[in-house]
Amino acid sequence: MRVLYCIPRYESAAMGNRIHTEIIAEWRRFGVETEVVALAAGLARRTTTVEEGITVHRLPVSAGLPLKLANRLVAGLLPYPYLAGAGWHYRQLLAERHYHLVHIETAFPLGLVAALVPPRQSPPLAVTLPGADIMAEPEFDYGYGRFRAVRAALPWIFERAAVIRADSPQLKKLAIKLGANPAKVTSIPYNITADSFPPTDDLVGLRKQSRAMVVERHHLDPDRPIIVSMNRLHPFKGIAYLVDAMPLVQRQGLRPQLLIVGPNRTTPRFGDYGAYLRQRALAHGVTSDVHLVGGVPHHEAMSYMAAAELTVVPSVAESFSRVVVEAAAVGTPAVVTRTTGVSDYVAAYGTGRVVEPRSGAAIAEAITALLQDAAAWQTCSRHAVVLATAFRSSEIATDLLALYRRAIFR
């Protein structure tokens, strides 16, 4: 079996791409040969390299004046700058090489690129929906689905797909609502990487050591609880509602310290979101308890999550959230909004609390309940470790491969 793994950008060393590298490595154990194709705007010609045993093709999607002009023309209709170039070079690659199936990350833009190839010239298409490709939250500057042209194209892309993999049960429902055939859609979440799991069986020791490091680095009070939000600072992540929760938690006699960890973003409606959060904390009088840390290296992420009593994911809408599973691997319970895809798993495994979105009061109530009830916290922590094991790369790779083999057989 030979699979083409189509992804917008691929760097094997990048944190976001390691989940894909591990899936491909697992497939190799089953005799599946997988090649990667990614887009590269800065190249003059297509390149093919071998990285960690994986053949990687990079398409020069804006090389030459004709492609630049075509890209600009198409971008006036559809909100992606390299559609014409991606389509041209993707067809060239398929004409030269044979594959049994194409794994496609995103219905838009890459699903559209692949769907435009005539069926007789294309292997079966397996479209993965990570969320941003079909979700629509215009109020929070998020999701390609907020564009009318994309919404109009999605049913046709879904029709061309042999199978559709949704990142969560919630995203599966959304895909069906947007025109996908229910028989085609399967919910299989993303994996977490091997280095997301503790290197030692001494979880208590790891958490103690991590806490000491984080307390020292950020000059925290070692006797007060730590709450971590670990995500990019984008409005759809709903971090403002977590800031709103802080004074409400304080009124219950608790003084948690909130670490907001992640790179900052600027959007048209909100501007600099980090500055927006600082102003929100100032308005609530909690600036001394809210720490905007910025981005941290991937190898330090585990320490922040292990140092915390809770991780909070207050997203307005999100297809999944691997952060919750990564925190679970080190025994940290989570508070997540109902509109976050991982909430289905948090509820099923009993690893935290699920709350309504856009509500600082709901978040505060869940934080208070877990911080005031040591027995409940311990139960969630034990269940969290069990939850994480279901998201190992070996488990997810096996589920995907079974789905894809059925698609090829059909």
Q: Provide the residue ranges of all domains of the chain, joining segments of one domain with +.
A: 2-191+393-409, 194-389
Per-residue confidence (pLDDT) for residue 409, from 0 to 100: 79
Can 2-191+393-409 and 194-389 be said to share one CATH topology?
A: yes
Spatial distance between the Cα atoms of 70 and 63, rounded to a whole number of angstroms: 11
Per-residue confidence (pLDDT) for residue 15, from 0 to 100: 61
Classified by CATH at the fold level, domain 2-191+393-409 comes out as: Rossmann fold (3.40.50)
CA 204 to chain centre: 28
Distances from the Cα of 304 to the Cαs of 60, 223, 286, 293, in angstroms?
38, 16, 21, 11
Spatial distance between the Cα atoms of 367 and 364, rounded to a whole number of angstroms: 5
Cis status, amide bond into 182, omega within 30 of 0: no
4 φψ region: left (φ > 0), alpha (ψ -120 to 50), beta (else): beta
3-class DSSP assignment, residue 318? strand
Per-residue confidence (pLDDT) for residue 17, from 0 to 100: 87
Helices (H), 163-261: 169-177, 203-218, 239-250
Low-confidence ranges of the chain (pLDDT < 70): 12-15, 410
Per-residue confidence (pLDDT) for residue 14, from 0 to 100: 65
pLDDT digits (tens, 9 = 90+) for 244-269: 999 999 999 999 999 999 999 999 98
Q: How many beta carbons lie within 10 A of that of residue 242, not counting itself?
A: 24
Tell the residue number behind the tokens 């995500």, with chain if given. 231
Pull the structure tokens for residue 180. 């996908």
Per-residue confidence (pLDDT) for residue 321, from 0 to 100: 93
Strands 185-187 and 33-40: unpaired
pTM of the model: 0.93
Classified by CATH at the fold level, domain 194-389 comes out as: Rossmann fold (3.40.50)
Per-residue confidence (pLDDT) for residue 202, from 0 to 100: 94
